[in-house]
Structure 1
Amino acid sequence: MMNGRAVRSVLIRSNRGENGSVEHVPRSVQFDESSEEYRCLCNCFHVKTGTYLIGAVHIFMILFFLIHSLLVYFQHDGRLQEARGVKENYVFASFLAEMIGLGLGSFVLFLLFVGLSRNQALLLIPHIVMQVIAIVCFALVLVSGMIAITTDSAVFYRLINAAPFMEHPTHNTVALDIGTMVRIYSIMTVYAISLVLEVWFVVVIYNCNRYLDERNTYMKYCLAFSTPMKTLSTR
C-alpha cells in the first residue's frame, strides 16, 4: 500500500538472498523490468522499445495519409464541377476533417515521444485516447466505403476521401472508371490494415503506460526509503 492505494505487484526476479528469501522491497511495490508482462510485439521487444517503434510507424502513417489527402484534394477539378453546377460541400469538408485529425495525431505523437524520453506515463494518455478515436474513425470509414461500393453513392465516396472523381449535377450516384476503383479498393485495404494495427498498437501503448506508472511508483518507494533500485535498467 502506497499513498493510500494498493500498487499492482510484479514478481522480482533474481532478488533473493542467500537464504532464499525475497529482500526488503514489500510485495506491494515489487517491480521487475524483465517480466514477460512488459514484453510486446510477439514477445520480441520491451514495451517501451515497442512503443518507440509504434511511434515511428505512426510517423510514416501520418505522412502517408497527409500526402494521399493532398493528392486527392488537388487532383480534384473544382472549377469544372462548379461549371457543371455541382456543389463542393463534401470535398473540402473531407479534406479539412483529415487535416485536423492528422494535426491532432502529430501533436499527441510528440507528447508520446516526450513521455517515453522522460518516463512520464501521463503523457501517453492523449495518444491512447487519439488511438481509440482513430479506431472508431477507421471503422466508420470502412463502413462508409462498403456502402459506397454497394450503392455507388457519391456522398459516401466523398466521405472515404479515397480518390478524386466527377459528380453528376442531378444524380446522387456515380459510375467510376476502373482506375478510380482500383485506387478506392487500395486505400480501403490500407484503412483495414490500419484499423487492425491500431487495435494492436493501443494495447501495447496501454501496457507501456502501465509499465511507466509502476516504474515511477517503484522509484518513489526506493527514493523515499533509500532502497537500492535493483530491478531498474537505464531505459
Structure 2
Amino acid sequence: MMNGRAVRSVLIRNNRQENGSVDHVPRSIQFDESSEEYRCLCNCFHVKTGAFIIGCVHVLMILFFLIHSLFVYFQHDGRLQQARGVKENYVFGSFLAEMIGLGLGIFAVFLLFVALSRNSALLVVPHLVMQVIAILCFILVLVSGTIALCTDSAVFYRLINAAPFMEHPNNNTVALDTGTMVRIYSLMIVYAISLALEFWFIVVIYNCNRYLDERSDYMKYCLAFSTPMKTLSAR
C-alpha cells in the first residue's frame, strides 16, 4: 500500500536489460519466483501451492492411519489372549509407537502450514525431518511385512499393525484366515503407495524450502538496498 493505493510488485524478470542482467541487483541475489525451478507436480503448481496440497494430503493420510490403528487396537481381544497365556506387550507397543509418530506428523504439518503463511523456510525443516523418518518407517514396515508373509511370524505381523489376530502361546507363527490376509495385503499396498508418494513429496517440500530461503535472502537485500514493493512479487 503506497499513498493509499495498492501497488503491485514487479518480478525482476521484467526489469532485465538488453544484456540479460538486472538493474542494481547482484547476480547472486537475483530471484524470479515464477521460475520453472519453483514449479512442481508436473509443472502445474508453484512449489508453495504444491507444498500446501501435500500438507492436506498428509492430513488425510494421518487420519487414515489413525482410524485404522484405533480400529485394530480396539478390535483386538486382549482378555482372551491373556487367558490363553499370550503376552500383550508388543500389541500395545505397536499402537503406542504409531500414535506417537502420527502426533509428531500432525505437528510437523501444522508447522508447514504456518511456514507457508509466514514464508518461513525454517519452519519447513521439521516437516522434511518427519518425511525422512516416515520414509524409513515405511521401508521398515514393508520389510517386516515381507518377512511376516514369508515366515508367518507373529512378531512381524504385530510390527506392521495391519490386522488383529489370535496366536497360540507356544508358537511364534500364526496361520491367518483369508479375511485377515486380505486386510494385510491391502495395507501393505497402502504402505507401498505411501512410500512412493513420500519420495515424490519430499522433493517438492525441499524445493519449497529452497524457494522460501532464497525469497528471504532476496527480501533482505530489497529491504536493505532497494524498494521491495517494486522488485518482489508478493505471494
Q: Which residue of 2 aligns with 1:75?
A: 75
Aligned pair 1:104/2:107, yes or no?
A: no
What is the one-letter code of the residue matched to 1:214? E
Q: Which residue of 2 aligns with 1:190?
A: 190
Task: Answer whether contact 2:141 2:160 (CA < 8 A) is retained.
Answer: yes
Task: Give the Cα–Cα distance (whole angstroms) in 1 for the partners of residues 106 and 22 of structure 2.
Answer: 45
Task: Give the Cα–Cα distance (whole angstroms) in 2 for the partners of residues 141 and 121 of structure 1.
Answer: 31
TM-score (norm 1): 0.92
Task: Answer whether contact 2:222 2:231 (CA < 8 A) is retained.
Answer: no
3-state SS of 2:13 partner: coil
Q: Over aligned residues, Cα RMSD in angstroms?
A: 1.5
Task: Give the Cα–Cα distance (whole angstroms) in 2 for the partners of residues 165 and 220 of structure 1.
Answer: 59
Show structure 1 runs of 5+ residues with no match: 1-10
- What fraction of aligned residue pairs are identical, expressed as a percent? 84
Once the two structures are TM-superposed, the CA of residue 22 in structure 1 deviates from its matched residue by 2.9
Q: Which residue of 2 aligns with 1:13?
A: 13
Once the two structures are TM-superposed, the CA of residue 12 in structure 1 deviates from its matched residue by 4.8
Aligned pair 1:89/2:80, yes or no?
A: no
Q: Which residue of 1 aligns with 2:179?
A: 179
Task: Give the Cα–Cα distance (whole angstroms) in 1 for the partners of residues 199 and 169 of structure 2.
Answer: 40
In structure 2, relative to structure 1, the CA distance for the partners of 1:215 and 1:100 (3 Å cut) is same
In structure 2, relative to structure 1, the CA distance for the partners of 1:186 and 1:87 (3 Å cut) is same
3-state SS of 2:163 partner: coil
Once the two structures are TM-superposed, the CA of residue 46 in structure 1 deviates from its matched residue by 0.2
Task: Answer whether contact 1:91 1:158 (CA < 8 A) is retained.
Answer: yes
Aligned pair 1:148/2:132, yes or no?
A: no
Relative contact order, higher structure (CA 8 A, sep 6+): 2
Once the two structures are TM-superposed, the CA of residue 13 in structure 1 deviates from its matched residue by 2.3
What is the one-letter code of the residue matched to 1:182? V
Show structure 2 runs of 5+ residues with no match: 1-10
Q: Which residue of 1 aligns with 2:54?
A: 54
Once the two structures are TM-superposed, the CA of residue 19 in structure 1 deviates from its matched residue by 7.8
What is the one-letter code of the residue matched to 1:75? Q
Q: Which residue of 2 aligns with 1:139?
A: 139
